Amino acid sequence: MKPQSNGEANPVKTLIVDDAPMMRKVIGQILAKDPRIQVVGTAANGQECLNKIRETKPEVITLDIDMPVMNGITTVKNIMVRHQIPVVIISSLVQDGYFAFESLRLGVVDFLPKPSRVQIGNWDEEEDLVRMRVLAASGMRVHRMRRVRRRRMDRGSRRNGSSPGAVVVMGTTLAGPNTIMHIVTRMAPTFQGAIVALQEIHPKILVPFCSYFNRISPLEVLPVLDSTPLEAGRVYLGSTFRGIHLEKDREATGKLVLQVDRSGEEPINGLFRSASRCLEDRVCGVLLTGVGEDGSRGMGEIREGGGLTIAQEQDCCVYPNLVEHALRENVVDLVISSEGIAARLQAWVEDKCPVS
């Protein structure tokens, strides 16, 4: 996903928050390489960050998690309530599912691992990713972001996996995990279909993120890391960094299998197209908040194949680009608020898979 260009506009004023002086320096040097970004200040902890906001008036904040005085999670809660400034988490705690999940649940733009030269050859990509997130964050409509309620679910109420009679495929890019959570947590545990969702989430945090998402989801949430059979009553999450697609089992059993795409080129289109080829009218494509134009062509193929296409209502999107492009291409059957999508999906699957 490429960041939105701010053209000749003023550079994005950015506040860097990290308790390590060296990391503040490194992130500052990374951001300084792009003239579209201006570092207006630094802070060593969350409390100092909140104080510096009044002084520096940042448009974007990069934030560490593990800090003294006030940690990153508490800081995010304060920023979202009191200031509504886009936040990009840059943390070394990528394998701790709690922090990744909580950050995205609360509405941060993204959760990134700290840049590291340990993995030789990836430094330039890591630098680019940090700059891209800050630039894209500046276009976020923070007032539309809503934290997801955290309710523990009873795993015993979930359906046992069997081949789904219908499949929902969802696509979203930046800030999308929060929207996916809002929809999935509203689904009934008796849902007879399967949900396959692509979201812009770093591959390093996909597994720990899913482990905590599972605790509040009525449906079992599984990360797609390799070949995975599709079963009813489950949610399969993939990353747009790689992409996933559906294909029929090679042993001619009629079952569907999810495979990981290594290229990651137009990942949402790839998922939607593969679902249309495999399922025809038994697939529903859902396009959510996000930056870019990915997904429209795939939505068109789903519609032509007899499937249903749904777009999130623009007024609910923190980034409306994906949806706006699909509407311009006239490939959307229904436009629904994020709160109403779950009920519509439930009704659609019940119609496709009537209980005998």
Query: How does pLDDT run across 205-237, given as a tens digit for each residue?
Result: 899 999 999 999 999 999 999 999 999 999 999
Whole-angstrom distance, CA of residue 79 vs CA of residue 66: 17
Residue ranges of E strands in the chain: 12-17, 37-43, 60-63, 87-91, 110-113, 167-171, 194-199, 220-223, 228-229, 234-239, 244-248, 256-260, 283-287, 308-312, 334-336
What pLDDT score was predicted for residue 120? 47
Whole-angstrom distance, CA of residue 278 vs CA of residue 256: 8
CB 271 within 8 Å of CB 167: no
Name the least confident of 11-15, 62-66, 144-148, 246-250. Answer: 144-148
Whole-angstrom distance, CA of residue 251 vs CA of residue 230: 15
Question: In the predicted model, is pLDDT for residue 320 greater than 60?
Answer: yes
Listed by start position, the domains of the chain span 12-144, 157-352
> Hey, is 223 helix, strand or coil?
strand
Whole-angstrom distance, CA of residue 235 vs CA of residue 197: 7
What pLDDT score was predicted for residue 233? 93
Whole-angstrom distance, CA of residue 301 vs CA of residue 31: 40
Task: List phi, psi (to 5°) of 41.
Answer: 175, 170
Percent of the chain with pLDDT over 90: 70
Task: Fold for 12-144, please state it.
Answer: Rossmann fold (3.40.50)
Chain Cα centroid distance, residue 263: 18
In the chain, what is the straight-line distance between the N-terminal and C-terminal CA atoms, in Å? 44
Q: Who has greater pLDDT, 251 or 130?
A: 130
What's the number of CA atoms in the CB half-sphere (13 Å) around residue 14? 31
Q: Which amino acid appears at position 225 of this protein?
A: L
Whole-angstrom distance, CA of residue 138 vs CA of residue 135: 6
Q: Which tokens in the block code for residue 22?
A: 């060296």
Strand order in the sheet with 87-91: 37-43, 12-17, 60-63, 87-91, 110-113
Torsional class of 229: left (φ above 0), alpha (ψ -120 to 50), beta (otherwise) = beta
Question: CB under 8 Å to 29, separation ≥6 — which residues?
Answer: none
Q: Which of 42, 39, 41, 37 is nearest to 11 (CA)?
A: 37
Name the least confident of 78-92, 128-142, 156-170, 198-212. Answer: 156-170
Whole-angstrom distance, CA of residue 275 vs CA of residue 168: 9
> Is CATH 3.30.930.10 what the domain over 157-352 is classified as, yes or no?
no
CB 236 within 8 Å of CB 271: no
Total-model pTM: 0.90
Check for a shared fold between 12-144 and 157-352.
Answer: yes
CB 219 within 8 Å of CB 189: yes
Query: How does pLDDT run across 166-220, given as a tens digit for each residue?
Result: 999 999 998 889 999 999 999 999 899 999 999 999 888 899 999 999 999 999 9
Q: For the chain, what is the radius of gyration of the CA atoms?
A: 20
